[in-house]
A and B are shown apart, each in its own frame.
Chain A
Amino acid sequence: MSASEEWAGSITVEQLDEDPYPIYERMRREAPVCFVPAVGLWFVTRWADVEFAASHAERIDSSVTPSPLIRAMGGPSILVLDGEPQKKLRAMLDPSLRPRAVEASSPALVSPIVERLLDGLAARGEADLMSEYFEPVSVLSLGSVLGLAEIDGDTLRRWFQGLAQGAINFEDDPVRWAVSDATGAEIDRDLAPTLERLWEAPDSSTIATMLQHAEGTFEERVATILPTLKVILLGGMQEPGHAAGTTVAGLLDSGQAAAVAADPSGLVRDAIEEGLRWVSPIGTQTRRARVETDLGGVTLPVGANLGVLVSSANRDEEIWGPTADSYDLFRPKRNHGAFGFGPHFCSGHHFSRVQMRIGVQRLFERLPNLRLDADRPPVFNGWEFRAPQHLDVRWDA
Chain B
Amino acid sequence: MTPSDVLPVDLGPADLADGELREATAGGLSLVVARTGDRLVAFETWCTHEECPLSDGWLEGDAVRCACHGALFSLTDGIALEGPALDPITVVSASVTPDGRIVADISTLHP
Contact A273 B82 (CB under 8 A): yes
Task: Write out the residue numbers on chain B whose beta carbons fall within 8 Å of the beta carbon of A51.
Answer: 86
Contact of B67 with A98 in the complex, beta carbons under 8 Å: yes
* B68–A98 touching, CB < 8 Å: yes
A334, B79: Cβ atoms under 8 Å?
Answer: yes
8 Å CB contacts to A: which residues of B35-70? 57, 60, 65-70
A334–B81 Cα distance when bound, in Å, is: 5
Per DSSP, are chain B's interface residues mostly helix, strand or loop, or mixed? loop
List chain B residues, Cβ under 8 A from A339: 83-84
Instruction: Give, as a whole number of angstroms, the nearest-CB distance from A360 to chain B.
Output: 16
CB contacts (< 8 Å) of B89 on chain A: these are none
Chain B residue, CB-CB nearest to A344: B84
B69 cross-chain contacts in A, Cβ below 8 A: 98-99, 345
- Residue on A nearest B86 in the bound complex, by CB: A335
Bound state CA distance, A341 and B86, in angstroms?
Answer: 9
A273-B81, A333-B79, A334-B81 known; A349+B70 contact, CB < 8 A: yes
Q: Which residues of chain A are within 8 angstroms of B80 by Cβ–Cβ distance? A: 334-335
Within the complex, the shortest CB–CB distance from B78 to chain A, in Å, comes to 11
Cα-based distance from A250 to B50 in the complex (angstroms): 33
The yes or no answer to B33 lying at the interface (CB within 8 A) is: no
CB of A358 to closest CB in B, whole Å: 15
A45-83, CB under 8 A of B: which get 1 and which 0? 000000100000000000000000000000000000000
Contact residues, B69-93 vs A (CB, 8 A): 69-70, 74, 79-86
Q: Contacts A51-B86, A339-B83, A345-B84 known; A333 to B74 CB distance under 8 Å? A: yes
- Are B67 and A99 in contact, with the CB atoms below 8 A? yes
Number of residue pairs A-B, CB distance < 8 angstroms: 46
Contact A345 B67 (CB under 8 A): no
Contact of A341 among B60, B67, B81, B83 (CB under 8 A): B83
As a 0/1 sequence over residues 314 to 353 of chain A, the CB contacts with chain B under 8 angstroms (1 = contact) are 0000000000000000000111010111100100011001
The answer, yes or no, to whether A124 is at the interface (CB within 8 Å) is no
Among the interface residues A341, A342, A345, which one has the most CB atoms of the partner chain B within 10 A? A345
Give, as a whole number of angstroms, the nearest-CB distance from A149 to chain B: 25
A339 to B80, CA, bound (A): 14
Q: Which of B57, B66, B79, B83 has the most CB of A within 10 A?
A: B83
Any chain B CB within 8 A of the CB of A100?
Answer: yes
Q: In the complex, which residue of chain A has the Cβ closest to the Cβ of B66?
A: A99
A98 to B79 CA separation, bound complex (whole angstroms): 22
User: With A and B bound together, what is the CA distance between A99 and B84 in angstroms?
Assistant: 12
Q: Are B79 and A349 in contact (CB under 8 A)?
A: no
A334 to B78, CA, bound (A): 10
Residues on A with beta carbons closer than 8 Å to the beta carbon of B81 = 273, 333-335
Report which of A273, A334, A342, A350 forms a contact with B70, defined as CB distance below 8 A: A350
- Ordered by A's residue number, 8 sampled pairs between the chains whose C-beta atoms are within 8 Å are A98-B68, A99-B57, A273-B82, A335-B85, A339-B83, A349-B70, A349-B82, A349-B84
Known contacts A99-B57, A99-B65, A335-B83, then 12 further A-B pairs from the complex at CB < 8 Å, ordered by chain A residue: A98-B68, A98-B69, A98-B70, A333-B79, A333-B81, A335-B79, A335-B80, A335-B81, A337-B83, A340-B83, A341-B83, A350-B70
A-B pairs with lowest CB-CB distance, top 8 = A345-B84, A350-B70, A99-B70, A335-B80, A335-B83, A100-B67, A333-B81, A335-B82
